[in-house]
Amino acid sequence: MGKNVTEPAHEIDIGRYRVAEEPYYANVRGEVELFLTAAKCRMPVMLKGPTGCGKTRFVRHMAHRLNRPLITVACHEDLTASDLVGRYLLKGQETVWIDGPLTLGVKHGAIVYLDEVVEARKDTTVIIHPLSDDRRLLPIEKKGQIIEAAEDFLLVISYNPGYQSVLKDLKPSTKQRFMAIEFDYPAAAVETEIVRREAGVEYEVAGKLVKLGAKVRNLKNHGLEEGVSTRLLIYAATLIREGIPVDQACDVAVARPVTDDADMQRSILELVKAIF
């Protein structure tokens, strides 16, 4: 192999990770102030809540508000430590070190968001431990280096505690390194405004979709694994705005995404007819 070289930090365009436009977010339970305080105190943050309740949008909103780059990693069971930290790659006759997303964030003072962190392998999550305490260090074993996090670096993780099995729950040793912010679906008035604003529909349509969402979430105790997300309500509203009939829009954007059970799908469509 050729000689080892490290990619110079100045070659990284960290600006492409900045959130250009401010995503709309409605502050529900004081989470904005909590996050701002955590960022000021360099305190790692854990976001807990159901799928589609606004965790990712919240992080994007806060990254824009803090004017910090945001590097998001969608965690999965094949995610390795090298995927996060970096690896040597062959380029021509040289072996070149390429920083992973976590290393980039540590060096450049970004917010690194590990979405659904419990989906990652257990040995992968261990590497965030020295970053999530007062050491704020990232060991890179393959290079024999330890990197101290930049002043503005902030580690954020998220997961859905109601959906995870015992085998996929976070270890207490990981949980207790983070400040936790609980998320849930917004109150009806807030969710209606979110759907109205994001989909560009009339308030009445948004309100009826939110009412549908609440009814479907109540079915969670009757065989439905996961409640309908605010995201799906926005999808349904967008389809309605574009001229798709209400029943069809709710079928493809609400009923079918949340369940494969035909009886449950019919029950949801009956709710649609009752509400609209």
- Over residues 128-158, the pLDDT tens digits come to 999 998 999 999 998 989 999 999 999 999 9
Confidence of residue 15 (pLDDT cuts 50, 70, 90): confident
What is the CATH code for 4-182? 3.40.50.300
**Which residue is it, tokens 């798709």?**
244
Q: What pLDDT is stored for residue 52 in this prediction?
A: 84
Mean pLDDT across the chain, nearest whole number?
A: 89
Section 162-168 average pLDDT: 55
- In the chain, domain spans: 4-182, 188-275
Write down the pLDDT at residue 139.
93
Return the pLDDT at 51: 83
Query: Which phi and psi angles does 75 have, rounded to 5°?
Result: -75, 145
Please tell me the predicted confidence (pLDDT) of residue 97: 92
pLDDT for position 254 = 97
Predicted local confidence at residue 9, as pLDDT = 41
197-236 residue pLDDT tens: 999 999 999 999 999 999 999 887 677 777 899 999 999 9
Q: Which of 151, 102, 107, 145 is nearest to 127 (CA)?
A: 102
> Which band of pLDDT confidence, cut at 50, 70 and 90, is reported for residue 168?
low
The full DSSP string for the chain is: ---EEE--GGG--GGGGS--SPPP----SSHHHHHHHHHHTT--EEEE--TTSSHHHHHHHHHHHHT--EEEEE--TT--HHHHHEEEEEETTEEEEEE-HHHHHHHHT-EEEEETGGGS-HHHHGGGGGGSSTT-EEEEGGGTEEEEPPTT-EEEEEE-TTT--GGGSPPHHHHTTSEEEE--PPPHHHHHHHHHHHHT--HHHHHHHHHHHHHHHHGGGGT-SSPPPHHHHHHHHHHHHTT--HHHHHIIIIIHHH---HHHHHHHHHHHHHH-
Confidence of residue 115 (pLDDT cuts 50, 70, 90): very high
User: Which residue type does 184 have?
Assistant: D
What radius of gyration, in Å, describes the C-alpha atoms of the chain? 21
What digits encode the pLDDT tens for the residues 65-80?
A: 999 999 999 999 899 8
Phi, psi of 226 (to 5 degrees): -140, 140
- Calculate mean pLDDT across residues 165-186: 81
- The yes-or-no verdict on residue 13 having pLDDT over 70 is yes
